[in-house]
A and B are shown apart, each in its own frame.
Chain A
Amino acid sequence: MPFAYYARLSRAQQAVYRKSDEIVEVRLARAGALLPVVEELGAALAAEDRATVQRATERMIRALTDELGVSPVKVQVLAARPHAKWGELHGLYTAERGRTPTIQLWMRTAKQRRVVAFRTYLRTLLHEVGHHLDYTLLRLRDSYHTEGFYKRESSLFKQLVPEAARPPGSPMSALSADAWFGVSADARLARLARMPDQVAAALDGRREAALRKRPAPEAWAPTEIVCHLRDAEELFGARVAAILENDEPALPEAGPAERWARERQYARHDPRRALEHFRRRRGESLETLIALPPAEWQRGGEHPSRGRLSIDMLVAHMAWHDDNHLEQLTRALEGRA
């Protein structure tokens, strides 16, 4: 299903969009040869020196364009990234007629001025390289953020960070909440939108008795995981609503999840009804988020143990939360804790 902006494109643009959406992978024939360059980039970022990061980033991008046989691109690594719509700007690709295209990347967060996490940085880098590849490798007339685009970005990421390529779940299943924070809002929303169907597919054909079985005394049964997703979604909705209704409200400590499971007696619930209610709550969350002007994503509230939480951060956390519990669900269905 295309993202919402598809409807606003012209027919010619829609054709480009569809073509972009169909291509889900960019294969690197010799990905292994690039791994030392990836490692070097990680080390450079850890050293927190801009000139070092600039050199390592240039080598990384040059290795990619050489490997794929496309024209090179200019690279500029900057210090603190500016605020922009969808939170903070992480990278930028600029192509003007008659000039070498440029990729700009920011190595520090705007607010905390911390060096960004390595995976976030690499993913941003691959995102911008993805735009370059759209024009030079795939010969698209425009470079849209389609689901195919994000899958191509993920396919590159997984080839360069092999431990990220573990099953199951989404192409981004190994991302931390911090890394999700560096992923575009569209991609995070697309991840949230997939979840109910992924859970439904996991439960498909299983008997209720099997779903109620805990893989270990302290590990949730599949039914309990689905109930947790449902109630976590309600909490997410309540937090977003509180943030939008108030000016920087206090966000109450909730749960904890283990206490909810016990008090609300998850083990007795019907997992399929729980899934339907999760789906309904998730649909409501997405409706709210999609309708929200980008600047509103920066509104937040104060959590007693987690500090300030913006809507932007809550969405990143929820994307990670989905990945995490989908993996847990898969394990639980196989009888593993």
Chain B
Amino acid sequence: MPTMEEYAAQPAAQRLERLTRTAAQLTAAVEGRPETVMARRPDGKNWAPKEIVCHLRDTEEAFGARFEQILAMDVDPRLGAPTADRWAEERQYLRNDALEAIAAFRTRRDENLATLRALTPAQWNKAALHPVRGRMTLDTFLTLMAWHDDNHLDQLARALEGKA
């Protein structure tokens, strides 16, 4: 699994191609799994498989909103802190259907890919100030997304086996 640094060294086209595969990888991982497995948390604090899928769906929406904000502004916007665990609780991920969540992820992902593919070279360098990661250009966001996909696909494979 490439690190953030290794992904950052890849051409944008290669990273974009990596993003196109994730929805199918998620479907392949969860298809045919019983509800008991999908809703099972490996331990007290780690997410169940369906929570991981919902996290990817909602993060994808948040990425899209950030892209929109960055592209609309002349200065770097300051972003709020990420709230993934709170979303999992409030949006009741454990009650969601995983395949429906993947379908929604796929749509959001396609929208983000369309946005990113249409960027001019100058736009790739537009950025936001992330409270944890500092200044992030759209190019860095693409790197983060590729790594984030890998990271959660890996977590998903473990969670399906009941491992943290």
B17 within 8 A of A: no
A254 within 8 A of B: yes
Residue A254 contacts which of B57, B65, B77, B96 (CB distance < 8 angstroms)? B65
Residue B97 contacts which of A247, A254, A268 (CB distance < 8 angstroms)? A268
Interface of B is mostly: helix
Are A242 and B96 neighbours in the complex by a CB distance under 8 Å? no
Interface residues of A in 103-120 (CB under 8 A from B): none
A69 within 8 A of B: no
Closest CB-CB distance, A242 to chain B, in whole Å? 7
Q: Which residues of A contact B92 (CB under 8 A)?
A: 268-270, 273-274
B132 within 8 A of A: no
Listed stretches B23-31, B66-74, B145-153; interface member: B66-74
* Complexed CA–CA distance, A273 and B72 (Å): 36
Q: Which residues of B contact A264 (CB under 8 A)?
A: 58, 91, 96
Q: Which residues of A contact B96 (CB under 8 A)?
A: 264-265, 268
Interface residues of A in 249-270 (CB under 8 A from B): 249-254, 262-265, 268-270
Are A263 and B80 neighbours in the complex by a CB distance under 8 Å? no
Interface string of A227-249 (1 = CB under 8 A from B): 00011001000100110011101
A205 within 8 A of B: no
B104 within 8 A of A: yes
Interface residues on A, range: 20 to 34
Closest to B95 in A: A268
Given A250-B72, A265-B97, A268-B96, A242-B57 contact (CB < 8 Å): no
A277 within 8 A of B: yes
Closest CB-CB distance, A213 to chain B, in whole Å? 17
A40 within 8 A of B: no
Are A242 and B95 neighbours in the complex by a CB distance under 8 Å? no
Closest CB-CB distance, A13 to chain B, in whole Å? 40
Closest to A303 in B: B72
Residue A249 contacts which of B69, B89, B97, B100 (CB distance < 8 angstroms)? B69
Q: Which residues of A contact B90 (CB under 8 A)?
A: 230, 234, 274, 277
* Complexed CA–CA distance, A270 and B78 (Å): 34
Are A250 and B100 neighbours in the complex by a CB distance under 8 Å? no
State the interface size on chain B (CB cutoff 8 A). Answer: 24
Are A265 and B95 neighbours in the complex by a CB distance under 8 Å? yes
* Complexed CA–CA distance, A263 and B109 (Å): 13
Q: Which of B66, B104, B108 has the most CB of A within 10 A?
A: B104
Interface string of B41-77 (1 = CB under 8 A from A): 0000000000000000110010001101100110101
* Complexed CA–CA distance, A265 and B57 (Å): 12
Closest CB-CB distance, A179 to chain B, in whole Å? 30
Closest CB-CB distance, A94 to chain B, in whole Å? 43
A302 within 8 A of B: yes
B164 within 8 A of A: no
B101 within 8 A of A: yes
* Complexed CA–CA distance, A262 and B72 (Å): 27
Q: Which residues of B contact A277 (CB under 8 A)?
A: 89-90
Residue B78 contacts which of A245, A250, A254 (CB distance < 8 angstroms)? A245
* Complexed CA–CA distance, A262 and B97 (Å): 11
Closest CB-CB distance, A196 to chain B, in whole Å? 14
Q: Which residues of B contact A238 (CB under 8 A)?
A: 80
Are A252 and B69 neighbours in the complex by a CB distance under 8 Å? yes
Are B80 and A241 neighbours in the complex by a CB distance under 8 Å? yes
* Complexed CA–CA distance, A231 and B61 (Å): 14
Residue B77 contacts which of A234, A250, A265, A304 (CB distance < 8 angstroms)? A250
Residue A250 contacts which of B69, B95, B108 (CB distance < 8 angstroms)? B69
Closest CB-CB distance, B68 to chain A, in whole Å? 4
Closest to A253 in B: B68
Given A249-B73, A252-B65, A263-B104, A270-B80 contact (CB < 8 Å): no
Are B100 and A265 neighbours in the complex by a CB distance under 8 Å? yes
Given contacts A242-B78, A250-B73, 4 further A-B contacts (CB under 8 A): A230-B90, A250-B72, A252-B69, A263-B108
Q: What are some 19 contacts across the A-B interface (CB < 8 A)?
A: A238-B80, A246-B75, A246-B78, A247-B75, A249-B73, A251-B69, A252-B72, A263-B61, A263-B108, A264-B96, A265-B95, A265-B100, A268-B92, A268-B95, A269-B91, A269-B92, A270-B92, A277-B89, A302-B72
